[in-house]
């Protein structure tokens, strides 16, 4: 079965610190991977996507992720956290028309 695992349901960082959110996928997940962000009472917004064109993917708001096939990982990073980054982040793997999501990681940014 396809699975996407996010390590850490809650990550807390200080403003200006590095953000690292971890995501591993099962090898049965097709190689289309995504990171979405969800703010309270809102839907999901796409941060970035991996579609095999390049292993380092740059997204919106300064986020990027690196696809590592050998580690089956797709971790999300941002060099310097901002207060506005506080939200829940979801890693997802997709086959056509259906996404398998991780459980989500709630990011808290402390002043």
Partner 1 sequence: KAGVTQTPRYLIKTRGQQVTLSCSPISGHRSVSWYQQTPGQGLQFLFEYFSETQRNKGNFPGRFSGRQFSNSRSEMNVSTLELGDSALYLCASLGDNRYNEQFFGPGTRLTVL
- Which residue ranges make up the site for partner 1 (CB under 8 A)? 32, 34, 36, 41-46, 49, 51, 90, 92, 94-104
Shortest Cβ distance from residue 75 to partner 1 (Å)? 19
Task: Tell me phi and psi for residue 30, to 5 degrees.
Answer: -60, 150
Closer by beta carbon to partner 1, 27 or else 42: 42
* Cα three-residue angle 74-92-7, rounded to 5 degrees: 55
Shortest Cβ distance from residue 12 to partner 1 (Å)? 19
Is there a contact between 12 and 19 (Cβ–Cβ < 8 Å)?
no
Q: Under 8 Å CB-to-CB from 77, ≥6 apart: which residues?
A: 18, 19, 20, 21, 63, 64, 65, 66
Closer by beta carbon to partner 1, 17 or else 59: 59
Shortest Cβ distance from residue 46 to partner 1 (Å)? 6
Shortest Cβ distance from residue 18 to partner 1 (Å)? 26
What does the alpha-carbon distance between residue 80 and residue 54 come to, in Å, rounded to a whole number?
A: 23
Closer by beta carbon to partner 1, 19 or else 94: 94
């Amino acid at each position: 079965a396809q699975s996407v695992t996010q390590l850490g349901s809650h990550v807390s960082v200080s403003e200006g610190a590095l953000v690292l959110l971890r995501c591993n996928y099962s090898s049965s997940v097709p190689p289309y991977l995504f990171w979405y962000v969800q703010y309270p009472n809102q839907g999901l917004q796409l941060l970035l996507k991996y579609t095999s064109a390049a292993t380092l993917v740059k997204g919106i708001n300064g986020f990027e992720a690196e696809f590592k096939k050998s580690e089956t990982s797709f971790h999300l990073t941002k060099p310097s956290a901002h207060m506005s980054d506080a939200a829940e982040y979801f890693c997802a793997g997709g086959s056509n028309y259906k996404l398998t999501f991780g459980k989500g990681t709630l990011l808290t940014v402390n002043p």
